[in-house]
Amino acid sequence: MRNSIFSASVLLTIAACSSNDKKPAPSNDDTSSASESVQGMSQLLSAMQSGDAEAVADDALSLTLLSVAPASMTRTIALPTKWPTPRGESFTGSATCSSDSCTFVDYGDTGAGYSYTLNGTISYDGTVLAVDLTFDETYGGDEVTWALNGQITVTPSLIDGELKEHLTANDGSSSADMEIDVTYDHVDLDGSECPIDGSVTLDVSVTSTGQDAGSYSGTITADFGPSCGQVTVTASN
């Protein structure tokens, strides 16, 4: 049995956490994962250069950068962070990778009661990482669509740009709509690709319908430096 990215209760979790009278308060209780989210860029580029489509899919999904947000916010946000199993012969569609791009066409799996596919392209021209991906999943009565788009300057010394994410989820009686903007504001890297200046900001807004209809919005900002490993996280809603 494959491990679904979204359990059957995820949609209800989104709705409950986004209810007007149940808003979680973001807090600055996480700093270490902010650096990891920036350094994950090099992992993605390495996977592209190796032509490993499954690794590229994993690392592309990790660009949600939810690790920047503390636990109190991630309870509201439920997005894929790793390509689901199984892998290999059960996959459908195609994934074509070169040293500077990967294109996915209905790349995924379909079985009894579930399906998931990845479509779109991710490319890197040596300076700019361009992302245009859409992930669709059905599991039981749940339907989820997640889109990731943006352009980011990525060099050995700098990460700068913006990613926009949009997720919709529906289980037949409730629905959720989520918008996330991830902004890399001139993140300077040292020789080990550790961030020493600049910031990453994650803005999220959620609207849900159904039994726990409501809305939620919040912002997390991670400021880096002046030394490797130094991160200050602030949050507000």
pLDDT tens for each residue of 52-63: 888 888 787 777
Q: Residue 6: what pLDDT?
A: 36
Tell me the per-residue pLDDT of 77-128, one tens digit each, with 9 for 90 and over: 445 555 665 555 667 888 888 888 999 999 888 777 778 888 999 999 999 9
pLDDT value at position 170? Answer: 83
Mean pLDDT of the chain: 76
Ranges 5-9, 60-64, 81-85, 217-221, most confident? 217-221
Confidence (pLDDT) at 157? 93
Q: What's the pLDDT tens digit per position in 21-69?
A: 444 444 444 566 666 677 778 888 888 888 888 888 878 777 765 555 5
Highest mean pLDDT, choosing among 5-9, 53-57, 156-160, 163-167: 156-160
The pLDDT score that the predictor gives to residue 9 is 32
Tokens 């032509």 -> residue: 51
Q: What are the extents of the domains in the chain?
A: 10-236
- Is there a contact between 208 and 174 (Cβ–Cβ < 8 Å)? yes
